[in-house]
């Protein structure tokens, strides 16, 4: 497990990024990310919310920090934001022929 102080991953590396010092062991993405065809047309979202993973990733890509994202969405936690990064990382591992 790699500990970071912000939601910016190292370029070219897939990391399990955790922010909470009190978190024990690895957490299953299913604890944080959900997809239901009846909610947001099945787009992956933060579990228990209507906030799409893609929205959080867009904020991160634009250079927003976790603190800035949480200020915008106070119900989010640092671990939920980290789970969005891990989800994107997992998706990028799939090999697709173009």
**pLDDT at residue number 49:** 95
Give the domain ranges of the chain.
40-98
Question: pTM higher than 0.95 for the full model?
Answer: no
Note the CATH architecture for domain 40-98: Orthogonal Bundle (1.10)
Query: Distance between CA atoms of 58 and 20, rounded to whole angstroms?
Result: 22
Q: Is the dihedral of CA 13, 56, 25, 89 positive or negative?
A: negative
Q: What is the per-residue pLDDT across 72-84, written as a single tens digit (0 to 9) for each?
A: 999 999 999 999 9
Reading the block at residue 51, the tokens are 């906030």
Query: Distance between CA atoms of 73 and 9, rounded to whole angstroms?
Result: 21
Comparison of pLDDT for 92 and 51, the residue scoring more: 51
Q: What is the per-residue pLDDT across 39-91, written as a single tens digit (0 to 9) for each?
A: 999 999 999 999 999 999 999 999 999 999 999 999 999 999 999 999 998 88
């Amino acid at each position: 497990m790699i500990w970071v102080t912000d939601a910016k991953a190292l370029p070219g590396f897939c990391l399990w990024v955790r922010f909470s010092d009190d978190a024990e062991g690895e957490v299953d993405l299913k604890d944080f990310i959900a997809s239901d065809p009846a909610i947001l047309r099945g787009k992956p979202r933060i579990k228990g919310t209507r906030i799409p993973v893609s929205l959080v990733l867009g904020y991160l890509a634009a250079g927003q920090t976790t603190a800035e994202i949480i200020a915008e969405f106070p119900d989010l936690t640092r671990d939920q934001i980290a789970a969005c990064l891990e989800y994107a990382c997992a998706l990028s591992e799939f090999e697709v022929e173009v």
